[in-house]
Amino acid sequence: MSQERRYSFEFFPTKTDAGHEKLIATARQLASYNPDFFSCTYGAGGSTRDRTMNTVLQLESEVKVPAAPHLSCVGDSKDDLRNLLTQYQAAGIKRIVALRGDLPSGMGMASGELRHANELVEFIREETGEHFHIEIAAYPEMHPQARNFEDDLRNFVRKANAGANSAITQYFFNADSYFYFVERVRKLGVEIPVVPGIMPITNYSKLARFSDACGAEIPRWIRKQLEAYGDDTSSIQSFGEEIITQMCERLLQGGAPGLHFYTLNQAEPSLAVWNNLKLPR
């Protein structure tokens, strides 16, 4: 898309053929909205490496939307990473989301040769020059494993300065946290675009579980309203669509350089917000 802002959707690789077929069908539906790219996650310790690659290559070649694989360094050797980069280059992939990544449960503190995301960004640049547009992760409400907010900001600056082109945030439900984060990193000299990550609300129990695990704060008033709806799925989705649309409106009005939707492999919740915002397509 040629407009200044960019819009993208994220998927996770599925474990079954049926799930994969549904993912590709969802991607085709979203492709009709002309997003700038699709991204695809990478399991803890590289546990979905092959499925991530297969999904990315199919999105790129068959769905005809640029695809950006997540690439994490925890648990992978430099040779593993080098091989993946070579395959992605050969396939014409031009964008990568570079992450430290999480270890699978039970792996303790074992790690690959690269231990931090800034080292991965540096490695990608050393191996491939400027071939890839490198995305990094941003945490407006602080990474759950960071010692404190100031330390987390310094980590972000290191990643950005290692050669990143832009950043995608963890999802959040408080626009002020995004604006404050961007203000702080600008004062620290980081000028790359920071695109808000958007999580549609469709299921309260799953959302609460996700949010507790990743450190995304659900404001108390939102929690209480969602709890009040109980098992009323229709009301949860209607309320979720309304507040996410309002937040996205505020983000865009405040200068956010686009939106990145965490689809959970579903089209409708993200497209409802997209249509409410009257985004270009």
Structure-token pair, residue 138: 């941003």
Cross-strand partners of 97: 70, 135
What whole-number distance in Å separates Cα of residue 45 and Cα of residue 175? Answer: 31
One-letter amino acid at 91 equals A
Can you tell me which residue has the tokens 């964008």?
95
> Of 4, 10, 135, 241, which is the active-site residue?
10
10 assigned to active site: yes
Closest CA to 199 of 191, 190, 189, 208: 208
One-letter amino acid at 189 equals G
Q: Which alpha helices (DSSP H) does the chain contain, by range?
A: 17-31, 49-58, 78-90, 117-128, 149-161, 175-187, 204-214, 220-229, 233-253, 268-277
What whole-number distance in Å separates Cα of residue 245 and Cα of residue 175? Answer: 12
Half-sphere exposure of 205 (CA within 13 A, CB side): 4
**Could you give the residue numbers annotated as active site?**
10
